[in-house]
């Protein structure tokens, strides 16, 4: 246990033990009481257990394991980026808060195109707080796994009127002041700086 803690730079052995117990409970890891060794279940066994059909994966090295929050953020936002353009392709265009996204030709390469992915949307889909969703995105950004672009719309009405408008529509009142003007902060657009691959079943 201490070696795993040392290897993963976890300060407390209790933390390592607690997380291993969670993995055992989920069936991702097995514990052999006789040998006192933990045995990792294969990806395919875990996929079958969780009934996962998607085989998308990203390459992960040891430095990625040590920065797992950044990797998790990159995977979550990167997958939703891919899912957004998949839906745009099926509908040919999607309009979000005044911005229209087109999928013009069959040769259109969405992989390098920004897509709107809301922190609140991530929070609702994965059932964790908006603060956690924001931290995961920022961790992926700092690790160089995501490109994030802030978007603003200059207010054409009085700030107080916009606050009342947002309150009436039950929308977040993200109004910022910059360059002498008030702007409504829109959904960030993101683009993953990595490519998903399809993990193949390992042959014996």
| pLDDT tens-place string over residues 94-110 | 877 667 787 777 677 78
pLDDT digits (tens, 9 = 90+) for 118-159: 998 999 999 999 999 999 999 999 999 999 999 887 776 565
43 three-class SS: helix
Q: Please, which residues bridge with residue 31 across strands?
A: 38
CA dihedral (50, 143, 125, 94) positive or negative = negative
pLDDT digits (tens, 9 = 90+) for 11-53: 888 998 899 899 999 999 998 889 988 899 988 888 888 888 8
Q: Which helix (H) or strand (E) holds 38?
A: strand 37-40
Residue 125: per-residue pLDDT: 94
Residue 159: per-residue pLDDT: 58
146 within 8 A of 193, measured Cβ to Cβ: yes
Confidence class of residue 9 from pLDDT cuts 50, 70 and 90?
confident
133 within 8 A of 119, measured Cβ to Cβ: yes
Residue 178, CA distances (Å) to 153, 155, 183 in order: 11, 11, 7
Q: Is the pTM of this model over 0.75?
A: yes
Q: Is the pLDDT of residue 66 over 70?
A: yes
Q: Is the pLDDT of residue 188 over 70?
A: yes
84 within 8 A of 187, measured Cβ to Cβ: no
Q: Is the pLDDT of residue 181 over 80?
A: no
Q: Which helix (H) or strand (E) holds 132?
A: helix 130-142
> What residues contact residue 193 under an 8 Å CB cut-off, 6+ apart?
144, 145, 146, 147
134 within 8 A of 127, measured Cβ to Cβ: no
Angle at 72 between CA 18 and CA 55, to 5 degrees: 105
């Amino acid at each position: 246990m201490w070696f795993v803690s040392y290897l993963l730079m976890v300060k407390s052995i209790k933390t390592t033990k607690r997380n291993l117990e969670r993995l055992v409970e989920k069936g991702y890891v097995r514990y052999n009481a006789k040998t006192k060794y933990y045995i990792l279940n294969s990806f395919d066994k875990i996929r079958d257990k969780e009934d996962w059909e998607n085989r998308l994966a990203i390459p992960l090295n040891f430095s990625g394991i040590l920065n797992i929050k950044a990797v998790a953020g990159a995977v979550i936002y990167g997958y939703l980026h891919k899912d957004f353009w998949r839906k745009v392709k099926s509908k040919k265009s999607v309009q979000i808060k005044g911005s229209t996204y087109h999928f013009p030709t069959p040769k259109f390469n969405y992989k390098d195109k920004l897509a709107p992915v809301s922190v609140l949307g991530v929070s609702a889909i994965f059932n964790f707080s908006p603060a956690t969703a924001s931290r995961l995105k920022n961790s992926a950004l700092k690790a160089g796994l995501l490109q994030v672009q802030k978007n603003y719309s200059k207010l054409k009405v009085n700030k107080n009127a916009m606050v009342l408008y947002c309150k009436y529509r039950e929308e977040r009142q993200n109004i910022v002041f910059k360059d002498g003007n008030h702007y409504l902060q829109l959904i960030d657009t993101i683009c993953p700086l990595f490519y998903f691959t399809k993990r193949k079943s390992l042959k014996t």
